[in-house]
Structure 1
């Protein structure tokens, strides 16, 4: 017996799993069989989008399955959508064991008569896209959801080769599309689908005070926070340095760093040592992984994203949805989310002084902060809802499968 909301890690073949919910009256009798593949299921932006798609697609029209290399058991907050997860455990993209898992995935896709394979990001693209082509899956999609700064030149070339096997490469920001075109990807094979998030009702003043009380933060103290996984690409050291400068001018300010890492623990330790050296021990709280992000965001005065590179940040969208003004670096897809001076402020990356100045500008102007918060929430409701994203994704799936079934040839790569 499993607890409600738990992820099911299932190593059985997808052929032995349910094909999905029966079609409702007026819908196709045979739902589209969609297999989504991501490297790991954990608390992260890509993983959340995968689960949003899984749970949001019309169950009468889609039978969805998930595949991955594994998931972090200590991150039990990943919400379940009632779909079993099939594991294909590998510890490298190379070697005989990996080849066996590729062949196993290919056999599973063929046996289950999967209509669409959608892989997400480098490791999943390289592993799952060739398997889908080998299985003659009608529609094969790759995804690239960041600007690729963490990839080596060899990995970028390998990713490009895998993406050439796909019918489309789905990206979540125009900035990513522009970068891929510069690398030689075909513009007509790239589809931009911005992230969508679930917009929760705004918290009451009493609820916000309760969150602050639980954190040990005074009700009237400025609270500045970052919500992000602890990764060097997030530029968190610049936030810590900026926090010191903000505290010098706003002595009652408090700071949160919400998130953690299963990969780069030395970086987290470096950040904690930097915080100590700067005298922020009792003012900067490292919360670790949290599952109550909407609650925490509601308690913030300013939400900060100091990334060095970014695709389209869920943290920015969630902050704006919570009517919190944002300060973010002018990188990747951030300018596609933040309207500078309207919903928040954009600053150069690797510039703690500019970061501190922008935070201070918001803290010093409560009326401006409220205006930015309201404008940010409206922008999310107008352009970045989960429902909007699901509609676009579903339309893409249906149109590509219709083309495949009509026998239209795949264009030359």
Structure 2
């Protein structure tokens, strides 16, 4: 295996003397290593590296934006737009993200959509998670309804708890998983809210996990109640695992989930609709299996890791050709 060097740039803030020192260190490394392409992901990397890479003489700079910008303050939004002027191409991971960028004043000609991809092969072993239930204290054979996401207010997990509370008496053997970590204060609020909703003993917060394929092999329905989303990796992984998905109709979710074909879509902040959709799947095994199979096929056809890598490589090659052509013509 080829050994690729890893260089870390530690920051506690994006501005100030420490940040400038790290940026100068990055610029020196880029020159010394003759780096020809820099690809940044997310607000912090975009602000840290794009202008510095250009000043360091990097030929091609690509910036990825993978969200709907809801977490950005107006000031951060202006900073990101300014930084993106130094880039050769902005990569959005969904058409919804591209449309958001255009609405925010970005040049449509400089935006390319390369949808996120997952390693579908990792999610094909349906017997891999047999020890998961015991590890998490879950009874064997009970249906599991899971949210796989960061524990973050933008994920709308309180609406998931409300929805599950409406059906808990109807499906007494169902248990609920929240897989991920994040905002500790928010998680404590959710735990208290679950208790008030009567879900004690039915909800498990697993924390961060590295065995998501194994967990998904045991999940009956995967739910994403987000209030905003770019293109959710959790949705794509659930589809790759053949698990039927219920998701909110926000951002790029509808580009992955075709309502009634590869999953079910509901309005955000609508716990009642979310609960009805999950109930429908719990009651109808044929529908679950049909949506799960169609979701797996869609993930393989449109959201594979191989396809994402291939399109990214092609973009790099095209931009390098353009850069060299411009250099020959003195532009």
> Are the equivalent residues in 2 in contact too, given 1:171–1:190 (CA < 8 A)?
yes
Q: What's the offset of the Cα at 1:409?
A: 9.4
Q: Distance in 2 between matches of 1:401 and 1:193?
A: 18
What SS is found at the alignment partner of 1:123? helix
The equivalent position to 1:88 in structure 2, one of 5, 9, 32, is 9
2:31 matched to 1:104? no
Which consecutive unaligned segments of at least 5 residues does structure 2 have? Answer: none
Q: Deviations over 1:139-184 (max 9, x none)?
A: 0111111001011000001000001110001110000000110111
- 1:212 and 1:373 map into 2 onto residues whose CA distance is 21
Other-structure match for 1:202: 124
Post-superposition offset of 1:408 = 5.8
1:228 to 149, 152, 158: 149
**Residues 255, 284 of structure 1: 8 Å contact kept:** yes
From the superposition, tell whether residues 201 and 151 of structure 1 become closer, same or farther in structure 2 (CA, over 3 Å). Answer: closer
Shift of 1:83: 3.2
The two structures, once aligned, show a CA RMSD in angstroms of 1.8
Q: Specify every segment of 5 or more residues in structure 1 that has no aligned partner in the other structure, as ranges.
A: 1-19, 22-81
Partner of 1:299: 218
SS at match of 1:394: helix
Q: Find the aligned partners of 2:258 and 2:51 in 1 and give their Cα distance.
A: 39
* 1:87-133 Cα distance to aligned partner (Å, 9 max, x none): 21221111122112112211211121110000111111011001101
Contact 2:123 2:237 in 1 (8 A): no
Q: In the alignment, is residue 240 of structure 1 matched against residue 161 of structure 2? A: yes
Higher RCO structure (Cα 8 Å, ≥6 apart): 2
State the secondary structure of the residue aligned to 2:320: helix
Q: For the Cα contact (< 8 Å) 1:241–1:352, is it kept in 2? A: yes
2:196 pairs with one of 268, 277, 301: 277
Q: 2:286 corresponds to which residue?
A: 367
Q: What is the aligned length?
A: 329
| Contact 2:225–2:248 (CA under 8 A) maintained in structure 1 | yes
Q: Which residue of 1 aligns with 2:170?
A: 249
Q: Does 1:192 align with 2:110?
A: no
- Where 2:168 maps in the other structure, the secondary structure is helix
Cα distance change, pair 201–345 in 1 and its aligned pair in 2 (3 A): closer
Match of 1:10 in 2: none
Q: In the alignment, which residue of structure 2 is the partner of 1:62?
A: none
> Using a 3 Å threshold, how does the CA distance of structure 1 residues 409 and 171 change in structure 2: closer, same or farther?
farther
TM-score by length of 2: 0.95
| Aligned residues of 2:246 and 2:274 also touching (Cα < 8 A) | yes
238, 256, 267: which one pairs with 1:337? 256
